[in-house]
Structure 1
Amino acid sequence: MTNNSNAKTVANHGVAWERAFGYVQAVQVKGTIYVSGQLSHDDDGKLIAPAELDANGRPVDFSRMEEQIRQTYVNAKKLLAKFGATLDDVVEETLYVLDVPSAFAAGSTVRKEMYATDMPQCASNLIGVSALAFAEQIVEIAFRAVIDKPVD
Structure 2
Amino acid sequence: MNTKEFRTFGMPWEKAYGYVQSVKSGNTVWISGQLGHDMQGNLAEGMEDQFRQTYQNIGKLLSEFGLHAGHVTEEVIYVTDMQEGFESRKVFGKEFYGEACMVASTIVGVTELALPGQKVEIKVTAKV
Superposition TM-score, scaled by structure 1 size = 0.81
Q: Secondary structure at the match of 1:114?
A: helix
Residue in 1 aligned with 2:93? Answer: 111
1:47 Cα offset (Å): 1.0
CA distance in 1, matches of 2:42, 2:96: 22
Residue in 2 aligned with 1:89? Answer: 71
1:6 Cα offset (Å): 5.7
CA distance in 2, matches of 1:67, 1:47: 9
Is 1:70 the counterpart of 2:52? The answer is: yes
Corresponding pairs, count: 128
Q: What is the CA deviation profile of residues 21-65 of structure 1, one whole-angstrom value per residue up to 9, with x for unaligned ones? A: 11000000100000000001111111121xxxxxxxxxxxxxx21
Query: Whose radius of gyration is greater, 1 or 2?
Result: 1
- Does structure 1 conserve the Cα–Cα contact (< 8 Å) formed by 2:2 and 2:26? no
Point out where structure 1 has 5 or more consecutive residues left out of the alignment: 50-63, 148-152
Amino acid at match of 1:132: L
Amino acid at match of 1:106: S
Amino acid at match of 1:8: K
Give the alignment of 1:53-64 within 5 angstroms. 64=46
Is 1:48 the counterpart of 2:44? The answer is: yes
Residue in 2 aligned with 1:139? Answer: 120
Of 103, 115, 118, the match for 1:122: 103
User: Percent identity over the alignment?
Assistant: 42
Q: What is the CA deviation profile of residues 63-105 of structure 1, one whole-angstrom value per residue up to 9, with x for unaligned ones? A: x211110100000100111111111100000100111111011
1:130 Cα offset (Å): 1.4
Residue in 1 aligned with 2:62? Answer: 80
Is 1:37 the counterpart of 2:18? The answer is: no
CA distance in 2, matches of 1:71, 1:38: 9
Point out where structure 2 has 5 or more consecutive residues left out of the alignment: none
Residue in 2 aligned with 1:59? Answer: none
Tell me the C-alpha RMSD between the 2 structures.
Answer: 1.2
Amino acid at match of 1:39: L
Amino acid at match of 1:92: E
Q: Secondary structure at the match of 2:70?
A: helix
Dislocated runs of 4+, deviation >6 Å = none
